[in-house]
Chain A
Amino acid sequence: MLTKRIIPCLDIKDGRTVKGINFENIRDAGDPVELGALYASQGADELVFLDITATNERRKTLAELVTDIARHVNIPFTVGGGISSVEDVYVLLQSGADKISVNTSAFKDPALVDRLSREFGSQCIVLAIDTRFEDGDWYVYLNGGRVKTEVKAFDWAKEAVSRGAGEILLTSMNNDGTKKGFALDITGQMAQNLNVPVIASGGAGTMEHFTDVFENAQADAALAASIFHYKEIEIPALKTFLYNKGVNVRF
């Protein structure tokens, strides 16, 4: 049986992980490769690396980092952040990324999703959506949540899937950072009505939140950052908890 996936997310800037993390069992917590390999060894099912570098050298640095990750990490990983062309994706996949995620660039040019899925296959094209609930519905936000649009998140997700997106990474801005749980309604609406896996993101604070998003919203995967980085929840304990709650997870 296909399992629910647990995905730690690492923010990368200039080739280093951004959030200050203190792990005793690794030498350099700022090293994305070492941290990624640690999560893999603890039973993470996938990893997401989100590049927030703003400099001109970012492409080259990122490709080199991706190669280094692929060399050392034995589970699948997605790379996102500022990807806007077929050429960008080609370089990252050739460097060893398993999937890439697109967000603002795909919203501004939806045909990019068609081009990418045709060129590389839907299975490696993840559509990331940042969304906020206001005035009675969930709306798409761009540029890392700074720019509001008038488009509803579900409508955009549906269109992107029809264009070839193979997975949806859905971040609720209302929930992100609150540690009060995932956005179950919009996650559930997407997971139950779209024919591709949905990764829930934003709001994880307790192990119960993961049970909720898997059982009540039927999310296919759940992503979190700080609770893993600060060791508020450790992956082996989380998986044992989910298993005991009857959620199908990998050990």
Chain B
Amino acid sequence: MKTVIIKYNAGNIRSVQFALERLGVNGTVTDDHEEIMSADKVIFPGVGEASTAMQYLKERKLDTVIAGLKQPVLGICLGMQLLCRHSEENDTPCIGVFDVDVKRFQSPVENLLKIPQIGWNNITGLHSVVFEHVPENAYMYFVHSYYAALGADTVAITNYVINYSAALQKDNFYAVQFHPEKSAEAGARIIENFLNL
């Protein structure tokens, strides 16, 4: 089985690679179209800013490569947001696999809501094969200022003043807002479930 991690100008790739390594899987970091398209599993990670990331992907035509993938794809954090339709972060049109928009957290009262959300939050309403053996209300590690709204593709929900999509799934595309690679055993289980698809 060949697992690739898409290389682009958003950080966090090393952590994903190490998480795979802990599961005994070698993840190849690449931006080569052929290598990505021929992989069995594709991971699209990312920590960073949406518009510069999309620009980088477009310049290398990676946005169309990603949209056309038929094998299981796992988007993580910014990777998930870029798979949505549009991000409020610098008004960025995204890849559009998921028919939801990405918005910025808004504090209802000044300083009530700390932005970014940093830390462990629980996920509920789990209904995807990637959550097999992951208990309802399991805690995952989140670091983000923008969130994907709820929609038809929502397969896990988290609350941070509002309910939003902790995970999305459509056809062969899976995506999580949290960092499974940093979410202890429960996170490792999700990555393992994805690799076993």
A interface vs B, CB < 8 Å?
1-3, 5, 40, 45, 67, 70-72, 74-76, 93-96, 98, 120-124, 166-167, 192-197, 220-221, 250-251
Contact = CB atoms under 8 A, between A and B. Distances in A.
A3 B184 contact: no
Interface centre among B114, B118, B183, B185 (most CB of A within 10 A): B118
A74 B11 contact: no
Contact of B182 (A71, A76, A193, A197): A76
A123 B12 CA distance: 12
Nearest to A195: B111
Contacts of A93: 11
Nearest to B142: A2
A67 B18 CA distance: 9
Contacts, number: 86
B114 A123 contact: no
Contact of A122 (B15, B116, B182, B188): B116
Tell me if B's interface is mostly helix, strand, loop or mixed: mixed
Nearest to B159: A1
Given A75-B182, A96-B14, A45 B119 contact: yes
20 contacts: A1-B159, A3-B119, A5-B119, A71-B21, A72-B22, A74-B181, A74-B184, A74-B187, A75-B141, A75-B183, A76-B141, A95-B14, A96-B14, A121-B49, A122-B116, A123-B118, A123-B143, A167-B118, A192-B111, A195-B110
B38 interface: no
Interface of B: 11, 14-15, 18-19, 21-22, 47-49, 107, 110-111, 114-122, 139, 141-145, 159-160, 179, 181-185, 187-188
A5 B15 contact: no
Interface centre among A67, A95, A98, A220 (most CB of B within 10 A): A98
Contacts of A167: 118
Interface pairs A-B: 5 shortest CB-CB: A250-B139, A250-B120, A96-B14, A3-B120, A123-B143
Contact of B15 (A70, A196, A221): A70
Contact of A123 (B14, B19, B47, B160): B47
A70 B115 contact: no
A8 to B, nearest CB: 14
